[in-house]
Amino acid sequence: MRRPFRYFHRHDYFDALPDDLVVSVLSKLSSSAPSPSHFINVLLTCKRLKRLALHGLVLARAGPKVFTVKARNWSESTHRFVKLCVNAGNVHACYTLGMIRFYCLQNRKSGLALMAKAAMKSHASALYSLAVIQFNGSGGSKSDKDLRAGVALCARASLLGHIDALRELGHCLQDGYGVRQNIAEGRRLLVQANARELAYVIRSVSQSSMLPSRSSSLLTWHPHRYQNSPCSVDSSVSSPSNPEVHQPNWFLREWFESGRGVLAEGLRLCAHIGCGRPETRPHEFRRCSVCGKVNYCSRGCQSLDWKLRHKMECSPVELWIEDNGGVVVGGGGGGGVEADGEGGGADVANNVAVG
């Protein structure tokens, strides 16, 4: 049967487009797609688009938002797609798959290798994640901690503009942790990190001013919206620091809190809502020295969680010691953290004496 005239011509124009031109358009799409579905839907359109969308050049340029997969949607085919992007040399894919393999799939060696691959190409989040692994000796024993390597990785990530790395470096300098103590320089970096974070939040709010519901949710703290967590960030809103950088962290939290992944007996998640890193051995993370109820993978996470949530909840009640009828408060009121059962015992960030 003869096709209607207009349809015939439209169809013909697409078929006549050379492959390299279509690949160029698809590369632009993959680098700017605001969500995985905006790119994946192209694969489902027709055989030719599927073939060209899986071209190495297109996959290598895919932006971080193409990998914002939810933990509940993780499947063999998703894993295969991310692996294809890794093989095409995509750094965001290397970092995302590295985090998922290291923390969720317990494939530590492969996860580390992928994160290292991204770090070699100056991926700031990969550098910071490797720093957290070095600080904690994650995936190994306590003796695998390498504080100096952690500080060096943080320094490199902060030079690339990673706010959490800058904050971590500030705390390390302030406390002399893995580096010679320099309180003034540490404070300067902490002020810089806070200023950058504030600038990011203001920019996010101004960009979303056309969407009143989203901008108001960025500014409002909802105490009970986030299920299965005492903390309260709207899970649809990314961390203020950088939504792209922190996506794998949301994946980790969702993975363990949804029950998709099960933490071994005695292991805990970092208490900061935007982190999601789990312990890889018992007592790996430091705990709050005041209440002893929450644990953190890093000084940066502890400091952020203190500001966002924990200062409202931290209570030294269980540490009060009756002393001749008087009451002694055991610890700093500013959310000091101490090593939990692993020696060290040094209080870290934000120790503020209680009255």
Residues near Zn ion (CB under 5 A): 270, 272, 275, 277, 288, 290-291, 297, 301, 314
Cβ proximity to Zn ion, 53 vs 297, nearer residue: 297
Query: Least separation, in Å, of the C-beta of 275 and Zn ion?
Result: 3
What distance in Å separates the CA atoms of residue 295 and residue 283, rounded to the nearest whole number? 9
Assign 103 to helix, strand or coil: helix
Cβ proximity to Zn ion, 64 vs 335, nearer residue: 335
Query: Least separation, in Å, of the C-beta of 279 and Zn ion?
Result: 10
Query: Least separation, in Å, of the C-beta of 338 and Zn ion?
Result: 11
Cβ proximity to Zn ion, 196 vs 277, nearer residue: 277
What distance in Å separates the CA atoms of residue 36 and residue 23, rounded to the nearest whole number? 18
Cβ proximity to Zn ion, 30 vs 289, nearer residue: 289
Scanning the chain, the segments in alpha helix (DSSP H) are 5-16, 19-32, 36-43, 47-53, 56-60, 76-87, 91-99, 108-120, 124-136, 147-159, 163-175, 183-207, 212-219, 247-257, 299-305, 311-313
Cβ proximity to Zn ion, 23 vs 147, nearer residue: 147
For residue 109, give the nearest of 345, 280, 353, 308 by alpha carbon. 280
Specify which residues 278 forms β-bridges with. 269
Cβ proximity to Zn ion, 90 vs 238, nearer residue: 238
Query: Least separation, in Å, of the C-beta of 43 and Zn ion?
Result: 35
What distance in Å separates the CA atoms of residue 152 and residue 158, rounded to the nearest whole number? 10
What distance in Å separates the CA atoms of residue 251 and residue 236, rounded to the nearest whole number? 12
Cβ proximity to Zn ion, 61 vs 277, nearer residue: 277
User: Apex CA 296: angle with CA 75 and CA 318, to 5°?
Assistant: 125
Query: Least separation, in Å, of the C-beta of 280 and Zn ion?
Result: 13
Query: Least separation, in Å, of the C-beta of 143 and Zn ion?
Result: 22
Give yes or no for a contact between 348 and 298, defined as CB atoms under 8 angstroms apart. Answer: no
Query: Least separation, in Å, of the C-beta of 7 and Zn ion?
Result: 55
Residue the block writes with tokens 């962290």: 249
Cβ proximity to Zn ion, 86 vs 284, nearer residue: 284
Residue the block writes with tokens 């979303």: 208
The amino acid present at 344, given as its one-letter code, is: G
Cβ proximity to Zn ion, 268 vs 272, nearer residue: 272
Give yes or no for a contact between 258 and 269, defined as CB atoms under 8 angstroms apart. Answer: no
Return the half-sphere exposure (C-beta side, CA atoms, 13 A cut-off) of residue 68.
Answer: 21
Cβ proximity to Zn ion, 27 vs 239, nearer residue: 239
Query: Least separation, in Å, of the C-beta of 106 and Zn ion?
Result: 18
Query: Least separation, in Å, of the C-beta of 83 and Zn ion?
Result: 27
What distance in Å separates the CA atoms of residue 166 and residue 194, rounded to the nearest whole number? 10
Query: Least separation, in Å, of the C-beta of 232 and Zn ion?
Result: 16
What distance in Å separates the CA atoms of residue 320 and residue 327, rounded to the nearest whole number? 6
Residue the block writes with tokens 């610890």: 331
User: Running DSSP on this structure, what letter comes out for residue 309?
Assistant: I
